[in-house]
Amino acid sequence: MTWRPQYRSSKFRHVFGKPATKENCYDGVPITRSVHDNHLCAANPRFIAVITECAGGGAFLVLSISHTGKVDPHHPRVSGHRGNVLDVKWNPFNDFCIASCSEDATVKVWEIPKHGVLKNITVPWKELQGHSRRVGLIEWHPTANNVLFSTGYDYQVMVWNLDAPEQVIKNPVRSISVHPDMVLSMSFNMDGSRLATSCKDKKIRIFDPRTGALLQEANCKSHKASKVLYLGNLKMLLSTGNSRWNHRQIALWDQEDLSQPLLQEDLDGSSGVLFPFYDPDTHMLYVAGKGDGNIRYYEISSEKPYIHFLTEYRSHLPQKGMGIMPKRGLDVYSCEVFRFYRLVTIKSLIEPLSMIVPRRSESYQEDIYPMTAGCEPAMSAAEWMSGMDKGPVMMSLKPGSKLSDPLSDLTSGKALSSSLDSRRSQSRPGLLQLSFIQEQLDAKESKEPEPTNDLQAWQNGEAQDKSRSAVTNGRDVMLCSPPKTENELRQVFYKQQEEIRRLREMLSQREVRIKQLELEIKNVKNSQSSH
């Protein structure tokens, strides 16, 4: 009999959840009272979107990721729907594009201004009309650009090509109509060649998303699935739901054989829906229940027993929904491997929660940040429609490596890379709008007759870039007239607050950088003296 160790060796065994301090939360957000079982929130490295309460239609808030603290109750919203908004999702390849679906049976795609929402947005970039009843769920294709999937209470799954020239698209590329009831969740595999769905009839189905052909169907009486999730490239599915005794349960499936689950595990007897989240880079699974205050996390392996429980994060504040940050928006210097945005309705609060791998060193830890899916599409919508399948375009999170972001030039100009250390700016999503603030300051300082020598030298090197880009909302900063209305005054106040917050963050980052350089110099001196 061979001896087996009692504990598994894992670098993620001691991962812990670190909630943000009160001043780094988003306070005073009127979170929707909808009972729809969706995440109700979406995040990317620049913005966070959350569905809110709104009279006379549906709306959602879009906040700058660094706009923490108290949120103004009159903050501008995206409010073009005639019914309540049920789901929002950011385009994975465009941080300024977001889709929303609503009870008014439409899906709308919005363009968010580069510097945030400064006034109410009511006109979408695209409007998708095809569903006959309210639309409850939307998903972007993981590798093809501008391909969107939607499903609603008419039991249809519709495929949309947003590259179509018309502003109102009434005919989807394909309509998949094999579900006998409402679809509760959709999940793609890594290259988007397979689509898994869970339905209100408690069955799991796998489709070819391009043709709509049904490939697999699970009908397990001992597990009633409500949410389903592809586990990266492990060729497995995970579902959350209820057992026949109505206990909350997770189940693991072989994607090639859905006749019986590989593993079933009861969790508790609560009633809230379980939302699964999977990180294919660390093979970690997070399970968060609606109405719970805790988040369980596991490590997934391809061999039995497949699921290894690590621990759980506990809070006395229950979550109604949550958004997650893409990997490219994490802070790699603090060893952050996942980030949630918990919606706490009893306090009208959005609480960021970072999952941290404890390490003594503050340098980049390459072993916990492998190559990950980036923000560049692998193919166009037309290529995907023609039958092509491609895996995601991978990128490195290592500071200093080039981010393959076609939109990065819009927000991080040459002035940002020259005035800040590029390694810090890429790991801190809050600095992505810093160039805009820097340009405003430069425009103000350019009015002074005699700048200092250092400033003069720095301005000479960047004069042409500044003269082309020192505009805000289509107006020259130098020619802006004083605010005349209360709304204009409020917008100016928001900009000043944002500017102060950015400059404080920039100052703190430079102080941290100075400390790092001092430590590096000290280490070099110590190594030389030892020799």
- The whole-model pTM stands at 0.75
Tokens 């049920």, residue located: 86
Work out the pLDDT band at 441, boundaries 50, 70, 90.
Answer: low
Model pLDDT, residue 8: 67
Helix runs in 23-81, H state only: none
E strands in 16-116: 16-19, 26-27, 41-43, 47-52, 58-64, 69-70, 78-81, 85-90, 97-102, 106-111
C-alpha torsion 43→47→53→54, nearest 10: -140
% of the chain at pLDDT higher than 90 = 61
Strands of 183-188's sheet in order across: 183-188, 195-199, 204-207, 214-218
Q: pLDDT (tens digit, 9 = 90+) per residue, 19-48?
A: 999 999 999 999 998 888 899 999 999 999
∠ CA 144-149-154, nearest 5°, is 165
Mean pLDDT for 424-430 is: 39
Q: pLDDT (tens digit, 9 = 90+) per residue, 267-311?
A: 988 888 999 999 999 999 999 999 999 999 999 998 888 999 999
Helical packing angle, 453-469 and 434-445, nearest 10°: 110
The phi, psi pair for 327, rounded to 5°, reads -60, -30
Q: Is the pLDDT of residue 160 over 90?
A: yes
Model pLDDT, residue 408: 39
Dig out the tokens for 298 from the structure. 């596991």
